Amino acid sequence: MIYERNQTAINEQIQAKVDHEVHRVLPFLHGLSNIFSDYPLIKPTEELEELSKVLSSIQIGLHGVIHRDSQERDGNLDGNLVSPNLGQKDINPQMTPLPALSRGTKRTFRPTLLPPSPERRQKRKDSHAPL
């Protein structure tokens, strides 16, 4: 029972971290997507090859998460959490392109600011104690 609560807490922490990282990285990925769609003559570099490998790995992981989630919603989860396509290298990263943001699209990723506190600002008082 304690192990299950610990595992649940760990899963919640991991989910929060993934959500935070996705929220932080997604605008950059949309920007890269726009650059690649606007300027198709970019020369390949080692960094771009590494980015391609990382994005392929992420896509494979996302495919497993989405596939597992659809099975859980349909009630067909049989305990096997691994997708049959996870081990294969033939997944094409261009199969599911990210939707490109147009230049006029506003991004509303920042939370709204709270109004200032109604309490007065506290100031530090001078100390006359000997040191």
**In a domain? residue 111:** no
Residues 49, 37 share a domain: no
**pLDDT at residue 76, as a whole number:** 56
* Tokens representing residue 17 in the block: 């971290």
pLDDT in tens, the chain (131 residues): 778 889 999 999 999 999 999 999 999 999 999 998 988 888 999 999 999 999 999 999 988 888 887 777 776 544 444 444 444 444 444 444 445 555 555 554 566 777 777 777 777 888 888 87
The range of the structural domain enclosing residue 7 comes to 1-42
Residues 49, 89 share a domain: yes
**In a domain? residue 79:** yes
In the chain, the number of structural domains is 2
**In a domain? residue 62:** yes
Q: How far apart are CA 99 and CA 34, in angstroms?
A: 9
**In a domain? residue 112:** no
Q: Do 71 and 63 touch, CB atoms closer than 8 A?
A: no
Residues 48, 95 share a domain: yes
**In a domain? residue 65:** yes
Tally the C-alpha atoms within 13 A of residue 34's C-alpha that lie toward its C-beta.
12
**In a domain? residue 121:** no
**pLDDT at residue 57, as a whole number:** 93
Q: How far apart are CA 63 and CA 69, in angstroms?
A: 10
Q: How far apart are CA 52 and CA 56, in angstroms?
A: 6
**pLDDT at residue 106, as a whole number:** 52
